[in-house]
Each structure stands twice: as structure tokens, then as C-alpha cells.
Chains A and B, each alone.
Chain A
């Protein structure tokens, strides 16, 4: 695939061309070395917490049904005690905007914390790396194994790893579909080999995406595919938390005996052990400064702190810091950018919370009978026919009182006595309005239907309709 070299300019390339070559060269596989320490523990906590949430949530039960079920086949989203309908799309939009703003806010404040600890790509990659380590051994064993020619042992180890990866990915795909169709039922049908073709497609699709992204692509997703990685730099300023190597303290780097005095040798604190490079999941050298590939996972901090401790030096040669702090200036946590993001975010969250709490779980659509504009009854009244679509978005059954306003002398006729709609159902009711021709002022008048639950007066809506007459 390294077709770039065919032009023969590889040796004499300008810096731009070198970068291009780097981008288009065949990827070298990265073998991140296992790391222990404070931040590694935090990340493991993140992995367990987030994957735990992902795999367990579909199994929670609330009020006799799946607690979180984005029921696409039924077009209803159940999230604990609330049920959202396609009409509530605006809430989803607001939620996504809030999530976006929150990412801006967090990025401005603490940098790429998201990437290092919470991003699904990181979290699943960690899980896949863990499986790989259990099967193939540590970094050195993995490199040796990959370098050796194929033999029975290598085949067995590789096959075991891919089997475990695929099993884990399949479970992930199954869980994903379980968010959209009831998971208990889905599981039973899976065991009986009765999954529908579309469900099968999505289990395989999502499972395969997990296997590919977390098993094969890994850091390349962050480097080449992630949109956030491209624009996160725009939220950075001199007060944003970054991971940095302190060159003034570390340079000039060089190996030395543990007993040696670095000042005598004219060396800085960096012993050039390259552990920070070996543990890096994106394969960069943090000592070259802040780089776009850095996902702020802090593996290099853990690795370096460990070395510093062994050498008897102060920890923190690589550490969380800010550009201002590195230059010996004051770091300002609270600054215009952060305050503005926070204000917009809080405003949207409050508006969202307010409208969800005060939302009326009742919908009314008025559809005019299209076959006839109007008709005259035997009594000489003008009659219009409507279909009322009543949507009970509440979680219990209600009966409703229907009224009509806005037209003097109008009579409301229905074939049934009570309007009763079960929980979460849409029902249609034919309604006739009759009025004396002398009460009509124009060919078309506005009429307002009002609907109110008999057992809860807060549940009321109104909807306009048109009444047509001979005029």
C-alpha cells in the first residue's frame, strides 16, 4: 500500500511531503505496554463503570417493562418513568445540543479527559487489549508472536484471541439491539434461532463494528476518523489542562547509573528509558510536546512517575499542567470561555428540564373529512365531519371531555358517550359539528376543539380546525 514511494521523492521530500508520507504510509502496529498507577486505576474504573452501564441497563425493569427501551418498532422511547413520542423530537435535539456544549465546556476546562477515560472507542479498546494480553501475553510476547512464522501454536493463540474478541463483540451487538427491541424477548428468540432478519443484521453490524474498531483499528480511529479529535484544539487555551513533559527539568536526557549524580554528568531528569513511548496507545513521544494524536490517557504519567520513584527523583516529569503553569504564570480556572459555555449549557438544561416536567402527555390532531366540504342535514343545519386523533402519552388510561369553542350556536355530535384512551395509545374518533347557516359569517370559520381529562384537569389541550359552509 506504500504507493507514495513510487514517485522516488521519498528521500528529498519537503516537510509537507514527509507529513503526507506519514499519513499515507502503511500503519505500523502499536503494542501498548501495560501500565500501572493512579491514572491506570482510574481508567479501569471508567471501563468497568461505563461498560457495566452499557451491558446492564437494557436488563433493568421499571413498572413491569424494560426501563430503558428505545422502542423503534413501536415508535416510543421509554426512559424510566417517562415515555417519549416522535412528537417529542425537540427534546432529543435539545439533549444532543446539551451534550455537545458539555463536551465544549469540559474540553476548555480539563482538555481531552473524554478521550482518555470515557470515549467508547477508548473503553472498548481497553477491554480488547485486556483480552489480548490475557491470551498473547505482554508487549514483548505479542511482538515475538507476530514476528514468528505461522505454526500450530501461533494459530491456536491467534484463533483463541479472535474467538474471544468475536464473542465479546457479538454480545455487544446483541446488547445494542436490546436497547431497541425488548431484550428478554430478543434473548429468548436468539436461543431459539428465531431472530428476524433485520435484528440479525444489526447484531452482526454493531458486533462487527466493535470487533473492527476496538480490535483492529484502535488508535487509528482517534487519529483519522474522530471528528472531535479534529476540532478539540479550537476549545483549548493557555489555561486548559494538558499532559506535558517538562523539558527544562528533563533535558538534556540520557541514560545513567542509578547512583550517578545527574548534575555532575550534565544531564536532566529524563533517563531516556522510552517507557513513556512504549505505553502510549497512539504511539507518540510526549517529549516532543503537545500533539494532536495525544488522547490524554495519562499512561505516560504513570509510567514516568514509576521510573522517577525508582531513580529517587521527584515525580511529575510528565504531568497534568497548563501552558500558563509551565511558563510559571498563574492558571485561571474561571475565564470568559468557560463561563460562557457554562451559562449557555445551564440555560439549555434548565429549559429542557422545565419543559419535560411541565409537558402535557396528551395530543390532539384534527383531520377534516376530505370527501365532503360540508353537508346540509334534514333539519337544515350545516354539518362538517372531522376525525379527531387523540394521543394518550401518559402511562395510564384516561377518559376525556371534548368541547368546542369559537363559533356561536355550534353543536357537537358524537356516536359514543365517553372518550376513553388506554395508556400509550392513539385512537380516532369521528365527530360532527352542526350550525345554523344564519350563524355562519363567512365561507370558512375557525373552530377550536378543547380536550380535557376528566380525572386530571392539568391534562388539557386545544386544537384549531376549519369549519366550511356555503358562505
Chain B
């Protein structure tokens, strides 16, 4: 990511952790409303156990939230910090 002053690991945690929490809430809400056994994806019945669908659903929610978080990080840092005087050029 753009800002060299923040260690990469910290940026990763800053994105992955809130998106993890969001994914927990989102999958909780989603699977309370929808039974995996009733779901049909792309016209095909899913032949995966409920526990499997829950897991995949959770990981997908996490992925989506993390993508959004990395996007925010990328745009926020490049736009705000590029103009600061001590911004290190790569």
C-alpha cells in the first residue's frame, strides 16, 4: 500500500480485523434468514454440507469486506498523503 511510513503488517491487520468482525455479523444475519439447504447458486444445487456453506459464506463475507477495506486504505492514503512534504517517494 501507498504510505511507506506505516508497516505493511499493521495495514493488513487494520483491514483484516474490522472486516473479520463485519463478516461475523453479516454471516450471522444472513444465515439466520436463509437456510443453506434452500440456497441455489448459479442455478445449481449446492452439494456441500450446511457447515461447509456457513464456512464458505463467512469467508466470502470476510473477503468482500476486506476488499472494501483495502480499497479505502489505498485511496485514502494515496490522496491525502501524497501532497505532504515528507512523503517518501518510492
- Chain A contacts to B: CB under 8 angstroms: 1, 3-4, 6-7, 9, 20, 24, 26, 72-73, 75, 86, 89, 92, 180-181, 196-199, 201-202, 224-225, 227
Contact = CB atoms under 8 A, between A and B. Distances in A.
A201 B35 contact: no
B51 A7 contact: no
Interface string B1-17: 00011110110010001
A3 B10 CA distance: 12
A61 to B, nearest CB: 23
Contacts of A199: 51
Given A72-B54, A198-B49, A198-B51, A6 B9 contact: no
Contacts of A181: 51
A201 B58 CA distance: 12
Contacts of A3: 4-7
Contacts of B55: 198, 201-202
Nearest to B32: A89
Given A75-B50, A197-B52, A198-B51, 10 more contacts: A3-B7, A6-B88, A7-B5, A26-B7, A73-B50, A86-B33, A92-B32, A196-B49, A198-B49, A198-B54
Contacts of A26: 7
Contacts of A72: 50-51, 54
B6 A24 contact: yes
A24 B50 contact: no
B68 to A, nearest CB: 18
19 contacts: A3-B4, A3-B5, A3-B6, A6-B4, A6-B88, A7-B5, A7-B86, A24-B5, A24-B7, A86-B33, A86-B35, A92-B32, A196-B51, A198-B49, A198-B54, A199-B51, A202-B55, A224-B13, A225-B17
Contacts of B5: 3-4, 7, 20, 24
A196 B54 CA distance: 14
A196 B33 CA distance: 25
Interface in B1-56: 4-7, 9-10, 13, 17, 21, 32-33, 35, 49-52, 54-55
Contacts of A6: 4, 88
Choose among A1, A181, A198 the residue with the greatest number of B CB atoms under 10 Å from its CB: A198
B51 A225 contact: no
A142 B20 CA distance: 33
Contacts, number: 51
Interface residues of B, number: 20
B58 to A, nearest CB: 10
Contacts of A1: 7, 9
Contacts of B6: 3, 24
B51 A75 contact: no
Contacts of A4: 5
A1 B50 CA distance: 42
A181 B88 CA distance: 52
B54 to A, nearest CB: 6
Nearest to A88: B32
Nearest to A198: B51
Nearest to A24: B6
A449 to B, nearest CB: 23
Contacts of A180: 51
Nearest to A86: B32
Contacts of B13: 224-225
Contacts of B51: 72-73, 180-181, 196, 198-199
B88 A7 contact: yes
Contacts of A227: 21
A75 B35 contact: yes
A73 B86 contact: no
7 nearest A-B pairs in the assembled complex, by CB-CB distance? A1-B7, A198-B51, A89-B32, A7-B86, A73-B50, A198-B52, A198-B55
A202 B56 CA distance: 12
A201 B54 CA distance: 12
Interface string B53-90: 01100000000000000000000000000000010100
Contacts of B17: 225
Nearest to A85: B32
A75 B34 CA distance: 10
- Residue from B5, B10, B33 with most neighbouring chain A CB atoms (10 Å): B5
